[in-house]
Amino acid sequence: MTEEINKCIEVLKNGGLILYPTDTVWGIGCDATNENAVQRVYALKQREDSKALICLVAKDAMLERHIEKVPETAYDIIDLSTKPTTIIYDNPKGVAKNLIAPDNTLAVRVASDKFCKYLINKFKKPIVSTSANISGKPTPRSFGEIGEPVLKGVDYVVNLHRNEKNGTPSSIIKLANDGTVKVIRE
């Protein structure tokens, strides 16, 4: 696993795209602080950049570095969730401008997968995580379902967990600083 993490970090540091297993589905990833890399993800997915992407952090401390004020409720949701849960926060900071939604929010998930946690910890920055498909096409549930355009469009494909079925996309909850909670995807 260490070798795979090191290869990913080399690609991420150079603005490249990786295809990697996450705590949900296989994801296309890049350095969440690199605007050009984020733009490459939008181009590969053929997705409008007004449709925000999710990013992964390794732990609460990294979350707090990239969100102006993390509501207390967020920690309860993270701790009590029985499946991976992405939370949309107000007022992100220190990430690529084109990763931030038009309403000044950012979707972030604290990774629960061992590989993702190690990778993000060692990289020391959030990593974009978006499903490994062209926008509008079905989300691949396993590595074998990922289409050629995505496989050829990334700079590195992680050589782990390729024979495992992945879970389902994460739940998404919007958590505003005024206390409003809205379930976007269960």
Taken in order of first residue, the domains within the chain and their CATH numbers are 2-185 (3.90.870.10)
Task: For 95-165, list the strands marked E by DSSP.
Answer: 105-110, 127-131, 156-157
pTM of the predicted protein model: 0.93
Q: Which span out of 65-69, 109-113, 158-162 was modeled with the highest average pLDDT?
A: 65-69
**Which pLDDT score is estimated for 101?**
93
Residue with tokens 């700079």: 155
- The DSSP bridge partners found for residue 105 are 90
Rounded distance between C-alpha atoms, residue 141 and residue 36, angstroms: 28
**Which pLDDT score is estimated for 169?**
83
Res 49 pLDDT > 80: no
| 3, 96, 119, 155, 174 from 122: Cα distances, Å | 12, 19, 5, 19, 28
| Angle, helices 114-123/2-13, rounded to nearest 10 degrees | 50
pLDDT, average across residues 126-155:
94
